[in-house]
Structures are given as structure tokens and as C-alpha cells.
Amino acid sequence: MIRADCLIVGAGISGLTAAQTLTERGKRCLILEKSRGVGGRMATRRTADAVFDHGAQFFTARSQPFQQMASRWLQQGAAREWSRGFPDPEGSSPEEGHPRYCGVGGMTAVPKALAVGLDVRRNTKIVAARIDEGEWVLTSETGERFAGAHLLLTAPVPQSLTLLEGCAYPIPAERLDALRSVRYDSCLAALLTLEGASGIPEPGAVSFREGPIAWIADNHQKGISPLATAVTVHASPELSLALWSAPEEVALREIRAASDRWLGSAVREAVLHRWRYSKPAFSPFDAPLHLAGPPSLTFAGDAFGAPRVEGAALSGLIAAQLLSGYGQDV
Ligand SMILES: Cc1cc2nc3c(=O)[nH]c(=O)nc-3n(C[C@H](O)[C@H](O)[C@H](O)COP(=O)(O)OP(=O)(O)OC[C@H]3O[C@@H](n4cnc5c(N)ncnc54)[C@H](O)[C@@H]3O)c2cc1C
């Protein structure tokens, strides 16, 4: 059994931010992540010669605490400013707005920088959370066990609730109803490698308010795919829902047809990524849910802030503040 003060499920931006803050305050944190890499929905995929940001495309920093975090990533060379806005499909240039930042070399640069020095157990999918003699015990898919006095869940809420099924932890009924009411949009992402240049205008992305496509970006222009034109297309929530169960080739055909005008060159390779939980579409929460216990149970992530990178990071920061103010031991 591996022990820590605080067990954190998920190495997305919220879990990593919480862990970094708690670690700075001298707490021992263990982050358990089911994927091979860190970052969650801040995701970058590399193929033979192409690089795609296929989840979050950029982030803004509107609040002072998150501006401080973003400044640190800029200084470290993990993030840079991409643009001050993106054109719409009619070609109208955006008003000069607040900075849109991206990761250097891909969005995962930011979570990778955050993870340095933290104890992240990758390839560790947690399948159950139980209470044993007053503390949390998590079990992984391969039977590893992790124990701690505090549990922070940062996965999309339906996934976090699955871990607690059959667990005797007393979540008040109205809080449980609120957790169960959280809804997410799904998003189908087409990752297209082109033979030549794309027709996507500067600074390498178009943002859509309506229609079958929500976003299209040229990762070569963005500066993360130097060797190939790698285009990310996000289908709208409506089209993603309509095509969710379709075979990959059918979904890709529909998304390619809807984005044809912007491609400008023949498609050499096409891959589909399905984001089941893309962004929260409804949440009754505007802050992390913290149940003091003992043992304590805290929910964080973008459903407990705002549906974007900044909201997720701030939820992790607030969760860490709640946890470090709790009791004598954490
Ligand atoms: C297609 C798409 C486009 C987006 N575009 C933008 C954008 O342009 N700008 C913006 O600001 N935001 C954008 N977002 C939203 C942004 O990515 C999220 O709000 C943010 O990254 C969420 O971070 P998180 O830490 O809350 O969750 P996640 O990043 O989802 O992290 C949760 C982690 O938990 C892990 N996990 C889940 N279950 C388990 C388990 N049982 N055991 C162990 N680990 C587990 C997951 O693997 C994941 O790494 C986009 C999201 C998507 C999907």
C-alpha cells in the first residue's frame, strides 16, 4: 500500500495545479492518472510527421491568480502568446482582444511543466474508492492500492461518481443530486494531415458561432507542427451528438465535407478522436465541492469553475486552499 496525505485522481490542469499548491505547502500528494501522459484535455498527439493539439486549443487568463500562473509558464518557456483573437468564417478580423496563449510545441507543454517534481503515477486507472479504518483506499485496474486521509477527484463528474459506487461515504442527498445533474457536451475531433498548405487564414484558426463545425486550426501555422500541415477540426456539439455512434469513416467523411472549404489541399491521413466529456454544458457548481469528513472528499475540475482551462486550474487552486486549511494533518 502506497500512502500520501492527499490522493488526487487525474493529472489534468486542475489536479496538477492542486498538487503543486499542496506540495508547496509541504503536503505529500500522489496523483493517479490513467493515461500515458499528463494534461487530460490539454492534449497533443504526434504522428509520424504531424503534431495536433486535439483538445483545448488555447487558454485565456482573465483572473489575477491565473494571470500569475500563466506568467510563470511564459517565463519557463512552456507557454507563449498565439494571438489576440480568431477570425470568423466570413473573414471578419477579430477585435484586438485579450491574449490567447498556447503551449510551446503543443498544449501539453504546460501540464508537463507543472508536473515536474510531482509524484504522478501514469498508466494508473483507479477503479474504486473505499473507506478503510477512517482513510481512503483507492484501487487501480491492476490491483495497486493507495491510501490517504484526503481524496481529490478531478475527472469529469460522471467518471468520478463511478469510482464512489458502493462506497459508504455519506454525500448529502442534495449534493449528490447536484453532482448527478452536471452535463457535458461531446466533441468529435478530426485530425487531418494535408499534402500541402491549408486554406485557413492567419493566425491559423477560424472560430464558428454556428453550423456543423465549431473550430478549425492549422497546427503548422500555429507553430507546433513544423514538418507537416496538421489540421484539427472540432465538430459542433450538435454534429458530434448526431455522429457519436457512427463508424469512424462515416464521421470523418461528414466532418471533412463540412470543413472542405478551409482545407486547401488533399487529405493524406485522417484520424478521429472522440471526446466523450468535452466541456461542461451545465453545472450547478461555481467552486469545488469540499466535504470535510474525515476522511475528506473534494471534487474539482472545470465543472467546478468555468468550462475552460482557466476555470479548471482555478478550481484546483481553490481545492488546494480548502484542503490545506483542513484539520491538523493536511
Ligand atoms: C475538444 C476540446 C476543446 C477545448 N477547447 C478549449 C479551449 O480552446 N480553451 C480552453 O480554455 N478550454 C478548452 N477546452 C476545455 C479544457 O480542455 C478543459 O476545461 C480543461 O482542460 C479541463 O481540465 P480538468 O483538469 O478539469 O480535466 P481533465 O483535463 O479532463 O483531467 C482529468 C484527468 O483525469 C484522468 N482520469 C479520469 N478518470 C480517471 C481514473 N479513473 N483514474 C485515473 N485518472 C483518471 C483523465 O485521464 C484526465 O487526465 C476544450 C476541451 C475539449 C475536449
* DSSP secondary structure of 237-274: HHHHHHHTTS-HHHHHHHHHHHHHHHH-S-EEEEEEEE
| pLDDT above 50 for 328 | no
58: Cβ below 6 Å to ligand 1? yes
- 157 CB less than 6 Å from ligand 1? no
| Ligand 1, atom nearest to 13 Cα | 25
Residue 264: exposure state from Cβ atoms within 10 A (0-12, 13-18, ≥19): middle
Q: What are the sequence ranges of the domains in the chain?
A: 2-42+112-182+283-324, 184-279
Pocket flag, ligand 1, residue 140 (CB < 6 Å): no
Cβ–Cβ < 8 Å for 32, 166: no
**CA 328 – ligand 1 centroid, Å:** 32
- In short, whether 301's Cβ falls inside 6 Å of ligand 1 is yes
Q: Give yes or no for residue 82 CB within 6 A of ligand 1.
A: no
pLDDT digits (tens, 9 = 90+) for 224-235: 999 999 999 999
* Domain range 2-42+112-182+283-324, its CATH number among 3.30.420.40, 3.90.650.10, 3.50.50.60, 3.90.1300.10: 3.50.50.60
- CB of 30 within 8 A of CB of 2? yes
Q: What is the pLDDT of residue 201?
A: 95
- Between 48 and 270, whose confidence is greater? 270
Pairing of strands 44-46, 51-53: antiparallel
Ligand 1 pocket, 15 CB below 6 A? Answer: yes
Ligand 1 centroid from CA 55, angstroms: 8
State if residue 278 touches ligand 1 by the CB under 6 angstroms criterion: yes
pLDDT in tens, 266-287: 999 999 999 999 999 999 999 9
Looking at ligand 1, which atom is closest to the CA of residue 159? Answer: 38
DSSP 269-289: EEEEEEEEEEEEEE-S-SS-E
Helix (H, G, I), strand (E, B) or coil at 112: helix
280 cis-preceded (ω within 30 degrees of 0): no
Query: Separation of 76 CA from ligand 1 center, angstroms?
Result: 22
Identify the CA nearest to 160 among candidates 300, 295, 308, 317: 300
Which pTM value belongs to this model? 0.96
> Mean pLDDT, to the nearest integer, of 85-90?
90
Q: How confident is the model at residue 315 (pLDDT cuts 50, 70, 90)?
A: very high
CATH topology of domain 184-279: Polyamine Oxidase; Chain A, domain 2 (3.90.660)
Cβ–ligand 1 distance for 13 under 6 Å, the answer: yes
> Is 327's pLDDT higher than 80?
no
The candidate with the shortest Cα–Cα distance to 275, out of 203, 201, 215, is: 215
Same topology, domains 2-42+112-182+283-324 and 184-279? Answer is: no
* Nearest CA owner, ligand 1 atom 37: 155
Average per-residue pLDDT for the chain: 95
Q: Is the distance from the beta carbon of residue 59 to the nearest atom of ligand 1 less than 6 Å?
A: yes
DSSP H helices, the chain, are 13-24, 64-76, 109-115, 157-164, 173-180, 219-222, 237-243, 248-263, 309-324
Ligand 1 mean position, distance from CA 134 (Å): 30
CA of 128 relative to ligand 1 center, distance in Å: 20
For the chain, the distance separating the N- and C-terminal CA atoms, rounded to the nearest angstrom, is: 20
Q: What is the mean pLDDT of residues 23-42?
A: 97
